[in-house]
Amino acid sequence: MVDENAREKVLAAAEELYYRKGFAAVGMDELRTAAGVSLKRLYALFPAKSDIIAAVLQRRHEQWDSALTAAVADAGSDPRSRLLAVYGYLEQWFCVGGFRGCAFINAFGELGGTSPEVAGIVRAHKASFQEYMSELVAGIGAPPSLAAQLSILAEGAQSTAAISADPQVAVQARGAAEVLIDAAMATAGIRPANR
CB 85, CB 76: distance < 8 Å? no
Q: Band the pLDDT of 190: cuts 50, 70, 90.
A: confident
CB 11, CB 56: distance < 8 Å? yes
Smallest CA-to-CA distance from 85 within 133, 37, 53 is with 133
Q: Is 57 exposed, middle or buried (0-12, 13-18, 19+ CB in 10 A)?
A: buried
For residue range 24-37, list pLDDT tens digits in order.
999 999 999 999 99
Burial 112-142 (b: 16+ CB within 10 A, else e): beebeebeebbeebbeebbebbbebbeebeb
- pLDDT (0 to 100) of residue 75: 96
- pLDDT (0 to 100) of residue 2: 63
- pLDDT (0 to 100) of residue 193: 62
CB 18, CB 103: distance < 8 Å? yes
Burial 159-168 (b: 16+ CB within 10 A, else e): ebbbeeeebe
- pLDDT (0 to 100) of residue 128: 98
Percent of the chain scored above 70 by pLDDT? 97
- pLDDT (0 to 100) of residue 106: 96
Q: Which domains does the chain have, with CATH numbers?
A: 1-47 (1.10.10.60), 58-187 (1.10.357.10)
CA 137 to CA 131: how far, in whole Å? 10
- pLDDT (0 to 100) of residue 151: 97
CA 38 to CA 24: how far, in whole Å? 21
For residue range 135-183, list pLDDT tens digits in order.
999 999 999 999 999 999 999 999 999 999 999 999 999 999 999 999 9
- pLDDT (0 to 100) of residue 178: 96
For residue range 3-50, list pLDDT tens digits in order.
889 999 999 999 999 999 999 999 999 999 999 999 999 999 999 999
Roughly how many angstroms between the first and final C-alpha of the chain, as a whole number?
51
Average pLDDT, the chain: 94
Reported pTM:
0.91
> Helix H segments across 22-144?
28-35, 39-45, 49-74, 79-94, 103-111, 116-140
CB 86, CB 79: distance < 8 Å? no
